[in-house]
């Protein structure tokens, strides 16, 4: 059997992360088994250890393939946003921050709409769209996240890194001596800061609302899991009882057959 090359394996992994979630585990195991049969146990074990993505991460991976241009726009906005945050924190003009934030919002709106379309098409939970949008935003704000996003290889949901850094921008901006400030510039700076604070407060409000929703979702999922576990235990008992009855019936049949043979 021909060994799988690195390029071929890379294509296989890309395909793996685009499959419906219900097919991920079986496809991953089949790929690991094939690599092992080719005499490559190390790569087989690496593949075997790949985690099945949660729905939100899977949705982001699909977007990375189906809406590549929008993902590239988000990545670019995330890079600009990160740089502008640093400049704003050191006292430089923050118009770049506001521009980057607006571009980020536009990209996320387009990707959010695309995510809803995929959810409707694939029949997965619509609640994953909000978590996917949050993961998209978080991934766009770090070098590692941007790389995973471009490759469509996320295996877990992400949260935006260090949101408190945004809330500290205004306080971190050094004040110039009063004598050096011009009246027009002072008014502009204050207006910009008010816009920044308003936007940041709105983002905090959204995150708090999302947190409450996620807590409710987690509680509901836990209750459903507990009910499912109880049902599974009941079915296991039912199966065990049925197996015991089947064994008893088999023994009775065998006894009757032996009696029949004796009488014949």
pLDDT score at 186: 56
Q: Locate 211 and state its tokens.
A: 């947190």
Band (111; pLDDT cuts 50, 70, 90):
very high
pLDDT score at 136: 93
- Given a contact cutoff of 8 angstroms between Cβ atoms, the answer to whether 159 and 142 are in contact is no
DSSP states along 199-249: HHHHHHHHHHHHHHHHHHHHHHHHHHHHHHHHHHHHHHHHHHHHHHHHHHH
Percent above pLDDT 90 for the chain: 22
3-class DSSP state for residue 182?
coil
Compute CA distances 114 → 10, 87, 164, whole Å. 26, 33, 29
25/260: higher pLDDT: 25
The predicted model gives 9-21 an average pLDDT of 87
204/74: higher pLDDT: 74
Q: Could you count the other beta carbons within 10 Å of the beta carbon of residue 147?
A: 12
- Given a contact cutoff of 8 angstroms between Cβ atoms, the answer to whether 85 and 169 are in contact is yes
Supply the pTM of this predicted model. 0.56
Band (175; pLDDT cuts 50, 70, 90):
very low
pLDDT digits (tens, 9 = 90+) for 31-53: 999 999 988 899 999 999 998 88
Selection from 53-62, 155-164, 171-180 with the highest mean pLDDT = 53-62
pLDDT score at 159: 82
Band (167; pLDDT cuts 50, 70, 90):
very low
5/195: higher pLDDT: 5
Residue 257 has pLDDT above 90, yes or no: no
pLDDT averaged over the chain? Answer: 80
Residue 95 has pLDDT above 80, yes or no: no
Band (110; pLDDT cuts 50, 70, 90):
very high
The predicted model gives 73-79 an average pLDDT of 92
């Amino acid at each position: 059997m021909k060994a799988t090359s690195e390029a071929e394996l890379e294509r296989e992994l890309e395909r793996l992360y685009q499959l419906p979630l219900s097919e991920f585990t079986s496809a991953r195991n089949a790929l690991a088994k094939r690599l092992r049969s080719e005499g490559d146990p190390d790569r087989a074990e690496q593949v075997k250890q790949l985690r099945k993505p949660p729905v939100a991460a899977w949705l982001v991976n699909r977007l990375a393939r189906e809406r590549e241009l929008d993902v590239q726009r988000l990545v670019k906005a995330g890079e600009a946003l990160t740089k502008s945050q640093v400049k704003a924190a050191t006292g430089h003009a923050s118009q770049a921050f506001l521009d980057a934030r607006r571009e980020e919002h536009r990209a996320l709106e387009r990707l959010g709409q695309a995510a809803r379309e995929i959810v409707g098409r694939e029949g997965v939970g619509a609640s994953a769209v909000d978590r996917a949008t949050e993961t998209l935003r978080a991934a766009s704000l770090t070098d590692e996240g941007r790389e995973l996003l471009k490759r469509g290889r996320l295996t877990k949901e992400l949260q935006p890194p260090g949101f408190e850094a945004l809330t500290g921008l205004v306080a971190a901006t050094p004040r110039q001596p009063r004598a050096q400030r011009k009246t027009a510039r002072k008014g502009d700076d204050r207006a910009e800061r008010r816009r920044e604070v308003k936007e940041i407060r709105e983002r905090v409000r959204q995150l708090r609302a999302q947190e409450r929703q996620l807590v409710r979702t987690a509680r509901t999922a836990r209750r459903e899991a507990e009910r499912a576990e109880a049902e599974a235990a009941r079915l296991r008992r039912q199966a065990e009882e049925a197996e015991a009855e089947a064994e008893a019936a088999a023994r009775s049949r065998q006894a009757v057959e032996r009696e029949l043979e004796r009488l014949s």
